[in-house]
Amino acid sequence: MQIFVSIPEVKARVQEAKSGGRSIGFVPTMGFLHEGHLSLVRASVRDAGFTVVSIFVNPAQFAPHEDFEDYPRDMERDLDFLRAEGVDVVFTPPRDAVYPADYHTYVEVHGLQERLCGNSRPQFFRGVCTVVLKLFHIIEPDVAFFGQKDAQQSAIIRRMVKDLGLDVRIEVCPIVRDSDGLALSSRNAYFNVDQREAALCLSRSLDLARAKITAGERNTGRIISIIRDEIEAEPQAKIDYVEIVDADELLPKDKVEEGDLIALAVYIDHIRLIDNLII
Ligand code: PAF
C-alpha cells in the first residue's frame, strides 16, 4: 500500500494504474475508520481493479462551533486497517493542499442541501460537495463508494454527479450496525456507557416504524409519531428532526411508498447522531 500526501504524486500513480488498464475505485473518508468504512473499502476492492482511500478531515464541512479540532483521528490505526483490506493507495493531503490560503470556490446543490440536516448544519453539504468534487478531480475514479448511513449526503453527491455530468459511478452501501442496532459512526467514540445505551433509541424507533409499515401503515404522520414517542421516552435524547421523504428530492411525503427514506437526527446530550431506513 502506498501513502501519498502530494496531489501531483497521487495523480501520477492513479494515472499509471489507469494506463495499465485497471479501473479505479475510490472511498473518501475522514479517517477514524470503523466497520462501516471498511464495508465500503471491501466493496471497492471487490469491484475495482485499484482502490484509493482518502483520509482528510475536511474543515469546510464543520461550522466554527462544531467538533473539527476534536474530531477523532488515528492515522496509524487507519493505515493498518487499510493495509489489511488490500487497499492500493491512501491519499491524505495536508489542509493547505486542498484549501490554500487564497481559496474561494465552493459547490452547492441547492434545494437538497437545505433539507433535513441542512436546517441545523447549513454549511455542511457545501463543504462535503466541494471536497468530494476536488477529490474526484484529483483521483478521477471510475466508481466511488458512500454509505447509506449518510443518506442525504449520498443523494446530494448523486445529484452533483448528474448535474455536472461527472464520469463516475456512485455506489451506496448498506448501513453497518453493532449487534445491538447502533449504526456505526466515528462519533460513537464520544459516548460514555450511559450515552451509548441511550443512543439505541434511534435504531429502536426505526425498527418500530418498519414493523408498523410491514403491518400496513402508510400514513407518514402516524409513523413519525411512533418514532418520536420512542425517542422522547429516552431522557437523554433530544430530537433534531424526524422526516419521511422521497429518496431523490428529499421532499416530505404524506403516504409512505417503497424507496422512501425515513431519516432522523437526534442529540444524545451534546452528541448529534443520524440514522435512517429506506422503505
Ligand atoms: O462521509 C464522510 O466521511 C465525509 O463527509 C466525506 C464524504 C469523506 C467528505 O469529507
Ligand 1 neighbours by CB, cut-off 6 Å = 28-30, 58, 61, 128, 131-132, 150, 153
Last residue of a domain, one of 142, 173, 204: 173
Same domain flag for 102 and 218: no
In this structure, the dihedral spanned by the alpha carbons of residues 198, 200, 201 and 206, taken in order and rounded to 10 degrees, is 170
Whether residues 33 and 84 fall in one domain:
yes
Bridge partners of residue 242, in order along the sequence: 264
Identify the residue whose C-alpha is closest to ligand 1 atom 3. Answer: 29
Tell me if 179 is assigned to some domain. Answer: no
141: left (phi over 0), alpha (psi -120 to 50) or beta: beta
**263: closest CA among 122, 112, 160?**
112
Number of other CB atoms surrounding residue 239 within 10 Å = 16
HEC per residue, 47-95: HCCEEEEEECCCHHHCCCCCCCCCCCCCHHHHHHHHHHCCCCEEECCCH
Ligand 1 probe mutation, 121, 150, 175, most atoms within 8 A of CB: 150
Question: Residue holding cell 457545501?
Answer: 126
Instruction: Specify the residue with its C-alpha closest to ligand 1, atom 6.
Output: 29
Domain boundary among 146, 173, 200: 173
Marked catalytic residue, from 37, 104, 110, 137? 37
> 181 in a domain, yes or no?
no
Clarify whether residues 64 and 197 are in a common domain: no
- Residues 44 and 164 reside in one and the same domain: yes
End-to-end CA distance of the chain: 39
Among 107, 130, 112, 120, CA closest to 63: 120
Q: Do 126 and 204 share a domain, yes or no?
A: no
* Shared domain check, 144 and 22: yes
Number of Cβ atoms within 10 Å of the Cβ of 117: 23
Task: Name the β-bridge partners of 90.
Answer: 3, 53
- Domain with residue 154: its CATH number is 3.40.50.620
Is residue 255 within 8 Å of 218, Cβ to Cβ? yes
178 found inside a domain: no
Q: State the residue for C-alpha cell 442541501.
A: 113
Within this chain, do residues 162 and 191 fall inside the same structural domain, yes or no?
no
- Which range marks the domain in which residue 127 is found? 2-173
Q: Does residue 260 share a domain with residue 166?
A: no
DSSP letter for each residue of 7-47: HHHHHHHHHHHHHTT--EEEEEE-SS--HHHHHHHHHHHHH
CA of 97 to the centre of ligand 1 (A): 17
CA distance 190 to 187: 6
Q: Is residue 278 part of a domain?
A: no
Q: Does the global pTM surpass 0.85?
A: yes
DSSP for 122-150, written as a single string = TTHHHHHHHHHHHHHHHH--SEEEEEGGG
Q: Which CATH number characterizes residue 266's domain?
A: 3.30.1300.10
Name the 3-class secondary structure at 101.
Answer: coil
The pLDDT of residue 216 is 98
Low-confidence stretches of the chain (pLDDT beneath 70): none
Instruction: Flag whether 70 is in a domain.
Output: yes
What pLDDT sits at residue 201? 98
Residue 243 within a domain: yes
Kindly state whether residues 156 and 204 are assigned to the same domain: no
Domain end residue (candidates: 173, 205, 226): 173
Contact predicate 223/217, CB 8 Å: yes
Residue at 41 is within a domain: yes
Residue 195 inside a domain? The answer is yes
Catalytic residue check, 65? no
What is the Å distance from ligand 1's center to 61 Cα?
A: 9
**C-alpha grid cell, residue 109:** 446543490
Whether 243 and 157 share a structural domain? no
| Angle formed at CA 7 by CA 64 and CA 80, multiple of 5 degrees | 80
Convert the pLDDT of each residue in 145-181 to its tens digit. Answer: 999 999 999 999 999 999 999 999 999 999 999 999 9
Is residue 110 located within the same domain as residue 234?
A: no
Q: Looking at the structure, do residues 138 and 13 belong to the same domain, yes or no?
A: yes
Split into its structural domains, the chain has a count of 2
